[in-house]
Chains A and B, each alone.
Chain A
Amino acid sequence: MKRAYKWVAFAVCFALIMLMGVKVVPLQDRAIVVGLAIDADDEGYSVAAQILMPSDDDSKSSGYIISEARSETLSGALTKISEQSNLIVAMSHCNLVILGKGVIDRGAYYSLDYLVRNAYLSENALLLAAEGSAADILSAKTAYSETSSFYIQRALMEFGYFNDRTVRTIREFIVSHYTYNKANWLPVVTKRVAQSEENPGTSGGGTESPEGGGDEQYVFDFRATAIFRDGKYRFTLSEEGTAGLAYVNSVIEEGSVTVTDSSSGEIYNCYIVRSSAKKSFDPGSLTATVEVKIKLILKEVLSESDTYAPEDVEPSDGVSALISEKIVSDITEAFERCRAEGVDIFDIYGGFYGKGGAEWRDNGAENYLGRAKLEVKTEITFH
């Protein structure tokens, strides 16, 4: 009897699922979006979605199409993509959103409302800025992957711990927007031709030319960083500044530092095993201290005076001093360049306020950014 009422409950649930209009959407009826490019102009938004298309053959590879639509709003544009493709747009696999120059100029945060509200788009999806058109980046044929979005995701997720790039997710961008100064940043993605039809066989990191024509294949670069304040784009940070930002805000586990000894002309290249930073604050003297701990392996020495086997070379204090100088210079470049634009890129307000509390906020915070001192300390060890 007891079992019967279990089965009745199960049968009722099943019948209800069937009767209450639960629509099963087969995979082939879904537009699985893996990357989104958003551009904007005076007339509204242009959204390009990179959609995976399952192939019918046995090649195991899946192709993709770029579907584009324009509308006043992002959700409107995506609805149009759904209409024109006769597919239901599925965002749960979209881990990449590229914002074009138009969107950035309009105000990046302003355009993100739909992305924040959309429960299916992961808050951990990568967010990037493009120098020009975002759709251009998304539709670029890449040299090392079939789909540009997977290529960029690999570059920033699996290789995002290099010191020449910063990585931002939607969540991180939103969180930074809610700091006191609303200082924010996004990595800038640019494309370079890796191989052209006219010059085949030069891929694999071979010849790369800044420009090309025809059916080129591209590689992407993330060495610049777009800086925002209060959601509005301010300027683009250089390669050095980007590295400075990475030293302070990321845990770096790969990459390299190259320094030149100006007196001897020797060039040293060191591989970064790991680098992390700790920030401390003294609200009384308005001093922010960044302590970078970096572990390196000396990989290469270029010297005119002699030829060294790298493993035989014991790095001298001079090399450490040069590397320290380089790191301090990169961090200072990021801080000062941003300070000049009124951007508190290292959230030193949060640090001073965290330590000084309401007393500091009410009495010592006036023009804190202009008055603050940044001290950078390094602790360099060789592996």
Chain B
Amino acid sequence: MKNNILTARQYGILAFLLSFVFKFSLLPGLVAEAAGRDMWLVITAAVVIEAGMLAVIVRISALGGIEAIKERYGNVAYLTLAVPAIVLFTLKCAVYMSEVNTFTTSYLFYNVSADAVAVILTLAIAFLAVRAAKGIGRVAEIALWLVPVLILIGAVFGKIKVEPSYVLPVAADGIAPVASAFDRSLFWFFDYTPLLFFRLKTNESGEERKPEAARAARGGAAGKEGLAALKKYAPVIGGALGAVLIIPALYAVFVMTYGMSGYLVGNAFSSLGSFNVVNTEIGSIDWPAIVLWLCFAVIVLAIFAFSAGKAAQNVGLPLPVGVTVVAVAALILTETLFYNSERAVRFALSVWRYPLSAIAVALTAATLVLLEIRSKNSKNRETLSATEVNDETRV
């Protein structure tokens, strides 16, 4: 069932959100603790690697997506990839959910128990995930409009108070603290992996729909093809580029705002989103940032839940069942092991970060390699059979 198809624009937005959202809650404080003023270097390295990974995932989508593994290699090969992916997505969902719970009960509703927040959040996530790619993509498109609203509020009411000199000197103690902070933060990186379970629908031009031979016969069209591909993937490139440029820039602003005290900041997005303003009558203006971050967080968690559900759906489990199982598992983990964000962070910083990151990277790499091999084989077979047909005709 094709319930995982996203338009290029939706794909670009989801890519941006996956990279952005959970890099702006607890992570800035944790990176600041290890890398200090060089924290923006850590995140730059991470988002650049992630952008490379996204390019690979887009290529996988063009090759038929991860479900093509099942068609070309069978269920065993597919399950070898899908099961670790489901574990990864469930654990990420649980840790991130714990962050959202703590954030909600700390910043929004102090008189609401974390249990209630977790249950309601799970329902919202599961509901959105069951609506599959179409629902998630549309909600992301709608929620994105809150960004200009937030920028407008900042421009009208905000007071820019930054000290650019806090960023300097760059890497004074060499690359070791940056590498150490990168290593420490591994859990929050490589979050594009769920996109393996989505397919990118691009609007191919009439020229692209023509057979490859016919296009090649025209000759000299390489430049045009490149341009067409660029146009086709523009929203995705935009999303990835947005993440590569905006996330390190905001980390730099974070350093300029908080200096070496950044590790004390609980949620970076709501802190930066208060725009250094308090109003005598209405208090601070961090509400738009809080609401925006919360919307984005629900979308990202729904992406994880959907991807895990979709991984199971490809081997016959109905999507609502898969999504519900994953969401409930994440809820149980959130209510037990990761009861508060401190526990979740302890887990994310533990040695578990290595196998989980390895799953994310290996899953993407293995899928690409497997699909490329069978793709080349099938092309060779096609070429071979075409030659045989020609020979027979001559005879």
By the criterion CB–CB under 8 Å, are B169 and A95 in contact? Answer: no
Nearest chain-A residue to B277 (Cβ)?
Answer: A124
What 0/1 readout, one digit per residue, does chain A (188-209) give for beta carbons within 8 Å of chain B?
0000000000000000000000
What 0/1 readout, one digit per residue, does chain A (131-170) give for beta carbons within 8 Å of chain B?
0000000000000000000100110010000000000010
State the Cβ distance, B121 to closest chain A Cβ, in Å: 10
Question: Which positions 215-260 of chain B face chain A at CB distance < 8 Å?
Answer: 257-260
Residues of B within 8 A of A350 (CB): 165-166
Complexed CA–CA distance, A355 and B165 (Å): 9
By the criterion CB–CB under 8 Å, are B106 and A119 in contact? Answer: yes
By the criterion CB–CB under 8 Å, are A21 and B274 in contact? Answer: no
By the criterion CB–CB under 8 Å, are B123 and A13 in contact? Answer: yes
By the criterion CB–CB under 8 Å, are B165 and A157 in contact? Answer: no
By the criterion CB–CB under 8 Å, are B165 and A351 in contact? Answer: yes
Complexed CA–CA distance, A93 and B285 (Å): 11
What 0/1 readout, one digit per residue, does chain A (168-186) give for beta carbons within 8 Å of chain B?
0101101101110000000
State the Cβ distance, A18 to closest chain B Cβ, in Å: 10
Q: With contacts A122-B283, A358-B169 known, is A12 near B123, CB below 8 A? A: yes
Complexed CA–CA distance, A157 and B111 (Å): 31
State the Cβ distance, B19 to closest chain A Cβ, in Å: 26
Complexed CA–CA distance, A20 and B276 (Å): 35
By the criterion CB–CB under 8 Å, are A17 and B116 in contact? Answer: yes
Complexed CA–CA distance, A171 and B119 (Å): 34
By the criterion CB–CB under 8 Å, are A122 and B278 in contact? Answer: yes
Question: Which positions 256-300 of chain B face chain A at CB distance < 8 Å?
Answer: 257-261, 264, 266, 271, 274, 276-280, 282-284, 286
Residues of B within 8 A of A (CB): 106-107, 109-113, 115-116, 119-120, 123-124, 127, 161, 165-166, 168-169, 172-173, 257-261, 264, 266, 271, 274, 276-280, 282-284, 286
25 pairs from A and B in contact (CB 8 Å cutoff): A9-B123, A16-B120, A16-B123, A17-B120, A20-B119, A21-B116, A22-B112, A22-B116, A25-B111, A92-B284, A122-B274, A124-B276, A125-B278, A126-B278, A169-B276, A171-B257, A179-B259, A350-B166, A351-B165, A353-B172, A354-B165, A354-B168, A357-B172, A358-B169, A358-B173
10 nearest CB pairs, A to B:
A354-B168, A20-B116, A178-B260, A357-B169, A178-B261, A122-B284, A119-B106, A358-B172, A124-B278, A95-B278
Residues of A within 8 A of B (CB): 6, 9, 12-13, 16-17, 20-23, 25, 88, 92-93, 95, 116, 119-120, 122-126, 150, 153-154, 157, 169, 171-172, 174-175, 177-179, 279, 350-351, 353-358, 361
